[in-house]
């Protein structure tokens, strides 16, 4: 068991240890027995492997002990790695020794059979042990790492935005309210305004963290707590922003394909679909999108915002993400820069994922003129005193600048081809669910 000649290894790298003596530290995922031989499927967080225990190697007692070991018992196994076509995964480990670290209670709730959503979410702390959830969380992690890689390579500096914020930044979405000593505070819905300040200090910046929306949305696309990456760059104008966004989205998709092919297959996602995600992405102006929807029979007038069915319809016209640009000023946020050639639309763009996954990024060029921004704040009836610091950015060396936010869970749900964003969050917070 503790022989130094035995190599510690993970299941994901088992093929490198063929015919070696290995030690794997994991849990019992499943087992089968056939009299005096026991097959224990061990998982270690990197994958699954079949361990074979026969009477001559571990003795009568060993076989009996393994045979009655409950699912999810923690176990350290030592044995010889063998390539074997009969084993799921192609390799198995012939047990010479093992140690039960903790025998699980025999009533582990997540069996290998089907379960309902409600039950699984109540047991999310155990559900994440299943191969599919492990694969999704791995893709999420690689996706987030790829975002940071790309931004760091492009010279962006990560600047953490505050979570506790003093005011209703945009006055639109419903925020979670909390106490801040003697005052009220709100959980952040976006780090953008702070990133605009940081961009004027460091040039190219991004924040990466959780955001909170207290909206009573109850759909497959919504979470009350989700993560966003929000890049913001000084001197970046609208056209460059769109090029930058498509480069970033293409990069992170390619990186996930490179690092998570096994996981994508495990989830049931065809990697070929993602291999098509390369620049340039198609673009439609809001005008063109409205016209296309009207031709398809939707009752929508110029000036209306898109609902979920409209976004789906537009995204289904392409097999790549599509930018919808130049929205009417009235349906977008107060800080959006108006189009210099046309005052009724803004230099903003939403990126809609293919296959009906909806908006995965939203962004645009920000107003850099002090007077114009002040007008907008007044038009939106926002409290000017709360925005003094934001207006300061336009008083001291203002420059054109742009940025966007990408919702991690929606993007990962699209990349994995999932029905619902809830599976992409380790512990999702939704309208009716805050536990576990």
- Pick out residues in 386-405 that bind RNA (CB under 7 A): 405
| 301 contributes a contact to RNA by CB under 7 A | no
- What is the footprint of RNA within residues 240-269 (CB under 7 A)? none
Q: How far apart are CB 367 and RNA at their closest, in Å? A: 13
| 74 contributes a contact to RNA by CB under 7 A | no
- Number of continuous H segments (helices) and E segments (strands) in the chain: 13, 19
| 363 contributes a contact to RNA by CB under 7 A | yes
| 177 contributes a contact to RNA by CB under 7 A | no
Part in contact with RNA (CB under 7 A); list of ranges 109-117, 136-144, 294-302, 390-398: 109-117
| 133 contributes a contact to RNA by CB under 7 A | no
Q: How far apart are CB 193 and RNA at their closest, in Å? A: 8
Nearer to RNA, 110 or 278 (CB): 110
SS3 content of the chain, % helix, strand, coil (to 5): 35, 30, 35
CA quadruple 415, 416, 418, 422: dihedral sign: negative
The three-state secondary structure class of 418 is coil
User: Would you state the structure tokens that stand for residue 397, as one six-digit string?
Assistant: 């060396």
Residue 419 CB neighbours (<10 A): 10
| 199 contributes a contact to RNA by CB under 7 A | no
Nearer to RNA, 152 or 419 (CB): 419
Residue with tokens 């209306």: 304
User: By C-alpha distance, which of 363, 367, 389 is closest to 379?
Assistant: 367
Part in contact with RNA (CB under 7 A); list of ranges 73-81, 133-141, 187-195, 243-251: 187-195
Cα–Cα distance measured from residue 115 to residue 70, given in angstroms and rounded to the nearest whole number = 19
| 115 contributes a contact to RNA by CB under 7 A | yes
Part in contact with RNA (CB under 7 A); list of ranges 2-10, 14-22, 37-45, 258-266: 37-45
- What is the footprint of RNA within residues 200-219 (CB under 7 A)? 211, 213, 215-219
Q: Are 111 and 117 in contact (CB under 8 A)?
A: no
- What is the footprint of RNA within residues 151-170 (CB under 7 A)? 170
Alpha helices per DSSP H over 268-338: 271-275, 286-295, 308-315
| 308 contributes a contact to RNA by CB under 7 A | yes
- Across the chain, which distance is largest between two alpha carbons, in Å? 85
């Amino acid at each position: 068991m503790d022989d130094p000649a035995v190599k510690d290894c993970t299941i994901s790298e088992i093929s490198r240890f063929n015919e070696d003596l290995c030690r794997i530290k994991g849990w019992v995922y499943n087992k089968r027995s056939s009299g005096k031989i026991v097959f224990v499927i061990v998982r270690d967080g990197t994958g699954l492997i079949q361990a074979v225990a026969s009477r001559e190697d571990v003795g009568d007692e060993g076989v009996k002990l393994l045979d009655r070991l409950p699912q999810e018992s923690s176990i350290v196994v030592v044995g010889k790695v063998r390539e074997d076509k009969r084993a799921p995964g192609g390799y198995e480990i012939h047990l010479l020794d093992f140690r039960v670290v903790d025998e699980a209670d025999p009533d582990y709730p997540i069996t290998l059979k089907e379960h309902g959503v409600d039950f699984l979410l109540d047991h999310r702390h155990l559900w994440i042990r299943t191969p599919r959830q492990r694969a999704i969380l791995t893709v999420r992690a690689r996706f987030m790492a790829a975002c940071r890689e790309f931004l760091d390579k492009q010279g962006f500096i990560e600047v953490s935005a505050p979570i506790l914020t003093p005011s209703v930044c945009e006055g639109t979405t419903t925020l979670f309210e909390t106490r801040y000593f003697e005052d009220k505070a709100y959980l952040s819905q976006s780090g953008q305004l702070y990133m605009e300040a940081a961009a004027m200090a460091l040039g190219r910046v991004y924040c990466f963290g959780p955001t909170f929306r207290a909206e009573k949305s109850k759909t497959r696309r919504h979470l009350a707590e989700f993560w966003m990456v929000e890049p913001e760059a000084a001197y970046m104008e609208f056209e460059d922003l769109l090029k930058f966004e498509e480069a970033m989205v293409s990069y992170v998709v390619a990186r996930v394909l490179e690092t998570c092919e096994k996981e994508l297959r495990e989830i049931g996602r065809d990697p070929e679909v993602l291999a098509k995600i390369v620049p340039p992405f198609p673009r439609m102006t809001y005008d063109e999108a409205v016209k296309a929807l009207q031709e398809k029979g939707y009752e929508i007038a110029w000036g209306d915002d898109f609902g979920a069915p409209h976004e789906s319809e537009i995204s289904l016209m392409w097999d790549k993400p599509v930018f919808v640009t130049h929205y009417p000023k009235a349906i977008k946020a107060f800080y959006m820069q108006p189009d210099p050639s046309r005052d009724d639309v803004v230099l903003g763009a939403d990126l809609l994922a293919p296959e009906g996954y909806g908006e995965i990024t939203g962004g645009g060029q920000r107003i850099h003129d002090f007077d114009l921004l002040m007008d907008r704040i007044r038009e939106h009836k926002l409290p000017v005193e709360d925005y003094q610091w934001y207006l300061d950015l336009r008083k001291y060396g203002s420059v054109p600048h742009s940025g966007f936010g990408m919702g991690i869970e929606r993007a990962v749900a699209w990349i994995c081809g999932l029905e619902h964003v809830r599976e992409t969050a380790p512990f999702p917070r939704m309208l009716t669910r805050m536990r576990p």
